[in-house]
Amino acid sequence: MASKLDLKEWSEKTISQDDWNFSPYYDLPKTALSRVFLWELDRELGSGKGPFGKDASNKKWLTEVGKGNYKDLSTATVSAKNGSNFKTGTDGLNLESAGTSTLHVFQINWHCSQQELVEAFTEWVEENHDTPYTPFPSNTRGRPRHQFTLLEKISIHRFHRIGYSGGPKFFRDNSKDKYKAGLKRINWTLAQREMNLHLKRRSKELDRLTKASGKNWKNLFYR
């Protein structure tokens, strides 16, 4: 059972633009965005670290990503028992031989949390990547179709913590700020509920890692 959440306190005086404006990361690959998301999520849970882009090692990593030295996943070749070779791409493409196959190959980034892996597979199924069936339609209103939306929801969470509810006044006062204005398309109430769920799941995951290693998760990942 995860311990009671003790979230980071935010105020108008302590929150900076680097704490809520994630626009510099918009074009990062999906799994790279996941790394930023987990860093910022752990800040909420008390990692003691500053904004992702201010950390020296993260700056170096972002430079490498900017140079193109990063891929979401590499391609893979799979050999069948009869000796045939098949190639799969980076998005879980199905392997084909004389027709559609139900065999799919996935490469998993284990740096992602369990919830992120579940959401990634759900999105893959919903997008109908040449699967040999049609899933029942589901109400996906509000689900992020781009991983970057998760970072925007962290922004909403932090604005909420300092007293903003996403009402009309917030957007009138910030109409000239492109990033803040873009948050209008997101339901703030649902975003806050989702963030609370992410924080509880991440806290439970960190508690498990602390118990398994015998070391506080802050020392495992952030010291």
- DSSP 8-class letter at 11: -
Q: Does residue 143 register a pLDDT over 50?
A: no
Place of tokens 């509880």: 200
Number of Cβ within 10 Å of residue 80's Cβ equals 12
pLDDT confidence of residue 60: 92
CA–CA gap between residue 216 and residue 119 (Å, rounded): 27
For residue 129, tell me if it sits in a domain.
no
Identify the three-state secondary structure at position 201. helix
For residue 1, tell me if it sits in a domain.
no
Strand segments, DSSP code E, in the chain are 76-79, 85-88
pLDDT confidence of residue 32: 84
Provide the residue count of the chain. 223
For residue 157, tell me if it sits in a domain.
yes
pLDDT confidence of residue 76: 55
Q: Does residue 204 register a pLDDT over 80?
A: yes
CA–CA gap between residue 87 and residue 96 (Å, rounded): 9
Place of tokens 């996943």: 73
Number of Cβ within 10 Å of residue 203's Cβ equals 22
Quote the mean pLDDT of the chain: 79
Beta bridge partners of 88: 76
Q: Are 111 and 104 in contact (CB under 8 A)?
A: no
Task: Identify the CA nearest to 19 among candidates 162, 115, 222.
Answer: 162
Q: Does residue 179 register a pLDDT over 90?
A: yes
For residue 70, tell me if it sits in a domain.
no
Q: Are 51 and 22 in contact (CB under 8 A)?
A: no
Q: Counting beta carbons within 10 angstroms of the beta carbon of residue 2, is it exposed (0 to 12), middle (13 to 18) or buried (19 or more)?
A: middle
For residue 90, tell me if it sits in a domain.
no
For residue 172, tell me if it sits in a domain.
yes
For residue 193, tell me if it sits in a domain.
yes
Phi-psi region of 167 (alpha: psi -120 to 50; beta: other; left: phi over 0): beta
For residue 166, tell me if it sits in a domain.
yes
Structural domains counted in the chain: 1
Query: Residues 124-142: what's their mean pLDDT?
Result: 48
- pLDDT bin (cut points 50, 70, 90) of residue 192 is very high
Structure tokens, 34: 């996941």
Q: Which pLDDT tens digit goes with each residue over 151-171?
A: 999 999 999 999 999 999 999
Domain extent, residue 153, equals: 17-47+142-221
Q: Does residue 87 register a pLDDT over 70?
A: no
Q: Are 46 and 217 in contact (CB under 8 A)?
A: no
